[in-house]
Amino acid sequence: MNEYRTANTSDERNTALRAVGRAKKPELIKRTLGLPLSDEVKGQDIYLPLGGLRSHKDGISALWSWMKEHWSELEKKLPPGLTMLGSVVSICTSSFTHPDQMKDIEDFFGKKSTKGFDQSLAQSLDAIRAKSKWIQRDGEDVKKWLQENGYL
């Protein structure tokens, strides 16, 4: 965070914000999720700390919980007519891999207007569906390979 706050260029600040989300400790995940809606991060940059969180399992789960909890704030800060809301929806949903997770997303948005980000949401659901089918089709082969090569 110090790098973000003291960076000389926007590229350095953006890199620092992306890196913050890579942390896996729960307290650091929580701190990262406090950034996007704070005054410390510009509206056009809120996706940067979020993007790093989708690189690991705990971050993926935390993103979805955070988005559901802060949905009304997100809609106010990022009106549906702007593309940023679609980007945030995609970041917070597209990394899942199981049908039950997809159903949770569908249930959450089934009660809401998705105008302005419906395409991003549809693409996320398609990505989840594809990953789920891949796991069903090839999961045992991958597990076998990992075991044979000493990873499990």
pLDDT of residue 80: 73
CB 37 within 8 A of CB 67: no
* Per-residue DSSP letter, 78: S
- CATH 3.40.50.11540 for domain 2-148, yes or no, is no
Name the percent of the chain in helix, strand, coil, to the closest 5. Answer: 70, 0, 30
Chunked mean pLDDT (size 10), the chain, 152 residues: 94 94 93 94 90 93 97 88 89 96 97 92 97 96 96 92
DSSP assignment string, 29-63: HHHHHHSTTSTTS-GGGTHHHHHHHTTSHHHHHHH
pLDDT of residue 43: 84
Domain extents in the chain: 2-148
